């Protein structure tokens, strides 16, 4: 199945084009958990702080579904 992924801020370096916030599609197996994307993208787990799936913050054990939209953020803040 396919999921759409966006990597933000400093995580952009792990995206296929190296660009932040630019969506790309990944092919994953049914039943894949969110944390499996880390291995596929070679992202150290500790560099990710907030994980969104379809606009909701999720935990690493979230089971992905077809066409899910994933957004991963490093620790960021502002105001």
Partner 1 sequence: MWFLRINMKDRTHQLTEVPEKYKKLAGRSLTSNLIADEVPPLAHPLGPNNKLVFSPGFVTGTSAPSSSRISVGGKSPLTGGIKESNAGTPWAWKLGRMRIKALIVEGQPEDKGEFWGLVIGLDKETGQPTLEWFDATEFTGQDAYDVYPMVFKKFEGRRVSVCGIGMASEHAYGNAGVIFEDMSQNPSRFAGRGGLGSVMGSKGLKFILLDDAGAPGVEIADKELFDEGRKKLAAALNEHAITKPKGGLNTYGTAVLVNILNEAGGLPTRNFSRGRFENAAKIAGEAIFDGVKERLGEERYNHACSPGCIIRCSNTWYRKDKSEHVSCVEYESDWAFGANLEIDDLDTISELVKLCNGYGLDTIETGVTLGVAMEAGVLPFGDGEAAIEMVHKMGKGEPIGRILGSGTGTAGKILGVVRTPAVKGQGMPAYEPRAVKGIGITYATSTMGADHTAGYTIAPEILAVMDDLDPLSKEGKIALSRAFQATTAFIDTSGHCLFIAFAILDIASGYQGMIDEVNGVLGTKWTADDILELGTEVLRVERKFNEAAGIGKQADRIPEFMHTEPLPPHNVVFEIDEETLDKVYGEL
Give contact residues for partner 1 (rule: CB under 8 A): 6, 8-10, 12, 20-22, 49-50, 52, 55-57, 71, 73-79
50-53 and 2-7 strand pairing: unpaired
Nearer Cβ to partner 1 (24/52): 52
Name the minimum Å distance from CB 75 to partner 1: 4
Token reading at 29: 């197996």
| H or E element in which residue 49 lies | none
Nearer Cβ to partner 1 (64/71): 71
Task: Count Cβ atoms below 10 Å from residue 68 Cβ, excluding itself.
Answer: 20
């Amino acid at each position: 199945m396919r999921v759409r992924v966006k990597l933000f801020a400093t995580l952009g370096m792990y995206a296929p084009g190296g660009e932040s916030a630019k969506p790309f599609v990944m092919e994953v197996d049914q039943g894949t958990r969110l944390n499996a994307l880390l291995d596929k993208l070679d992202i150290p787990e500790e560099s990710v702080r907030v994980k969104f799936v379809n606009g909701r913050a999720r935990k690493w054990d979230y089971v992905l579904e077809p066409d899910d939209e994933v957004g991963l953020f490093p620790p960021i803040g502002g105001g």
